[in-house]
Structure 1
Amino acid sequence: MALADELRAAVRGYLAGRPGASWQEFARDVGVAGLLVPEEHGGAGCGPGELAAVAEELGRVLSPYPFLQSAVMAVAAARACGADDLLKSLAGGASATVVLPGDGELRLDGDVLTGAVPYALEGELVLAYAGGALVEAVPSRRTRHVTMDESRPLQRLDFERVPARRLGSGAAWGRVRDLGIAALAAEQVGGAQRCLELAVEHAKRRHQFGRPIGSFQAIKHKLANLLLLVESARSAAWAAAEDEVAAAVAGSYCSEAYLTVAGENIQVHGGIGITWEHPAHRYFKRATSDAQLFGPPQGHRARLAAHVLGTG
């Protein structure tokens, strides 16, 4: 069995057996916090395939774990500027969030950071790209947002002339963003896959006119189209870590695929699909919030056009 498959099985089993475990427990027991950290710094030294496998499983259960921001983006940012001490901390289960250029209005004056980030993923450590550098700073105030999608907590960060520790150059922020998009795309595939499974299960179980609704041609065609979307999105997600173009393709396609599959899952379920007790609405909410996390699909297509068509 390939390492990616072993990780997938381990993560799925752990999430099923210990749904209430903390991020630190999950990181310690399964080792995913240091997945992309080199072995000499206490990590596993894995690559994009293993990243995608773990992210899919987390997306499948709408996990709130900070894998995306901590184990992917923060690790990538620390590796790019040689912050070895930070890598060891992240591999040990410390949570972190990364503020990319454009996420807020930040000003770096010497070693003092000022400004605000309206929306940021939650994390104990805050790494921010400001003034051409990557810095670590403690916000003077954190405000947690009440959001439609409670499975992915967001917070506002305010910095009122706080000390900033310079970690290195901020030149690699684009690669950090693209790895984040790749991880998010894999999460979206995991969520879309679970929505498809729920729709198929219901179509087999629900009867109308003495037959399972899945035997009706309209439902068959709908489910076949959803399968095509999920598998195409999986291909895009697994290639997303290759370069900026592949990341832009995945950012556009996987976001729209997840939204479509999550919406059609509700349609297949009918009335029960819009009840509070059924999980269908939670997947649709995650799909909606995910589609804005690194910019909407049309934003990724605009970035893609600049590369492919030489526009923008």
Structure 2
Amino acid sequence: MDSAFTAEQDEIRRTLRELLTKRSGPDEVKAAVRTAAGYDAELWTQLSAQLGLPGLALPESYGGVGCGLTELALACEETGRALLPSPLLATAGLAAPLIAALGTPAQRDELLPRIADGSLTCALAVPGGSLAAALGLSGDNASGEWAGGGRAGGVQARPGDGGGRLLYGEACQVLDGHSAGLLLVAAHTGGFARSRTLLFLVRADAAGLSRTRQTALDETRPQARVELRDCAAELLGADDADDADDAADVPGALAATGVRAATLLAAEAVGAASCALDRTLEYVRAREQFGRAIGSFQAVKHRLADLYVRVQAARSAAYYAAWDPGEGGLALAQGLETLRVVAGEAVQLHGGIGFTWEHEAHLYFKRAAADELLFGPVHRLRTRAAERAGLFVPPSGAPSGAGSGTAPGAGSGAAPGAASGSGSAAAPGPEAVAV
């Protein structure tokens, strides 16, 4: 694998970092999350118009830039550094791939160009606050247990009087659900005996739709409760399936979207951890104790060196997942764990000021805690990756033990440097981060 980036990819990273450094510092982030939308709408328009950020991974035929997952992951690494509150993940990371995979040609032609130019933001609403389960990150989503069940569980869909469907139910913890112009709602249809989960399009102005922004631990990822009371909806995909066997493979599409979203989240976590470490390095260089900078103490150097190795290993895992999205779950586990450790150490190394809620170190601490609650926990991500690799259950017909290590990257070599600092992203010793 050639880990070098192209000139175009480096330019995407450089341009985005310069813009976010000017427009999205800690003070700007705190101001943006307190707006009604939960993000800086003017900055989002600029990112869409000048950089084509929401359409980065969409085909040119739909008005996108025509790049791939790697470019979008690099962009997410930069937005993660700034903890940028934006609809990028919910719109480009979750909704757009589902529309592209399941939508009819007419739906794709209508929606994807509007997503690409930033004029339409989207949100994925699944009942029960079970986004990780719906995306297949923490377990197999084929059974549909994450969507509720029976006659009243989850969100229910029934035929409307004039065609279309009516949805009844609610979904909590919907990322950007309060401000999105379009909701993709997972709902049961087909009655009790033939119940199956499908995705439906709900417009922001639909009658019977109520959205309430919730108080979230991490304000940079706004969440909402979505209530649907006989709300008019349109099936995502062709509405000509007569039975469950002919219906779209919604769990499969969600799982495929999940592994790609895991890569983007891993890149975000790496960016956030890297910036938290950089800010901590700046602080320990300037903060003096006993007449010398605290960063000159050997114990502090060792702690910083350990954090540096963790960040480099997580970055290597995220980049590998961008090249091979199947490893997204492992990369996400590595990224979330790294961000949690680095954010915690950042609070500690900032001393008394780091423990105040007003200090920027807590922005990273809250992002670490909230992301693990939303998309983790880490041990379930790793368990799911092991199940996919066949480490727990041998493949059908194979002798006992045949499943161990049968998938590339399932073990300690899942990504260069992902399990330790000894891979291609190996970090130099403590002297490399001497302060």
Shorter-normalised TM range: over 0.9
| CA contact 2:263–2:329 (8 Å) conserved in 1 | no
Provide the C-alpha distance between the structure 1 equivalents of 2:229 and 2:124, rounded to a whole number of angstroms: 18
After superposing the two structures, state which structure 1 stretch, 106-115 or 146-155, moved more: 106-115
Map 1:117-266 onto structure 2 (within 5 A): 117-122=171-176, 123-130=180-187, 131-138=196-203, 140-168=209-237, 169=248, 170=250, 171-241=252-322, 245-266=326-347
Q: Which residue of 122, 132, 143 corresponds with 1:96?
A: 122
1:70-110, Cα deviation, whole Å (9 max, x unpaired): 12211111111242321111112111112353367222334
Aligned residues: 312
| 1:245 and 1:304 in contact (8 A); partners too | no
Q: Percent identity?
A: 40
1:51 matches 2:120: no
Please show how residues 292-303 of structure 1 align to structure 2 within 5 Å: 292-303=373-384
Local SS of the residue matching 2:230? strand
1:116 CA drift (Å): 1.1
Q: What amino acid maps onto 1:249 in structure 2?
A: L
Q: Aligned partner of 2:155: which letter?
A: L
Q: So what's the TM-score if we normalise by structure 1? A: 0.93
Question: Which of residues 3, 13, 25 in structure 1 aligns to 2:18?
Answer: 13
In structure 1, the residue corresponding to 2:235 is in which secondary structure? strand
Q: Quick check: 1:137–1:165 contact (8 Å CA) kept in 2? A: yes
* TM-score (normalizing by structure 2): 0.68
1:135 shift after superposition: 1.7
* Contact kept? 2:333, 2:376, Cα under 8 Å: no
CA distance in 1, matches of 2:94, 2:109: 15
Partner Cα separation in structure 2 for residue 127 and residue 22 of structure 1: 25
1:286 aligns with 2:367: yes
Q: Is the 8 A contact 2:166 2:233 kept in 1?
A: yes
Larger Rg: 2
CA–CA separation in structure 1 for the residues paired with 2:83 and 2:92: 17
- Match of 1:172, SS state, is helix
CA–CA separation in structure 2 for the residues paired with 1:65 and 1:2: 26
Gaps of 5+ in 2: 1-5, 25-39, 127-133, 135-145, 149-153, 160-164, 188-195, 238-247, 395-435
Aligned equivalents of 1:242, 1:311: Cα separation in 2: 27
Determine whether 1:310 maps to 2:366. no
For 2:209 and 2:169, the matched residues in 1 are separated by: 10
Gaps of 5+ in 1: none
Provide the rounded CA distance (Å) in 2 between the counterparts of 1:154 and 1:81.
25
* Aligned pairs for 1:19-58 within 5 A: 19=24, 20=40, 21-58=42-79
Letter in 2 for 1:161: D
The CA RMSD measured in Å over matched residues stands at 2.0
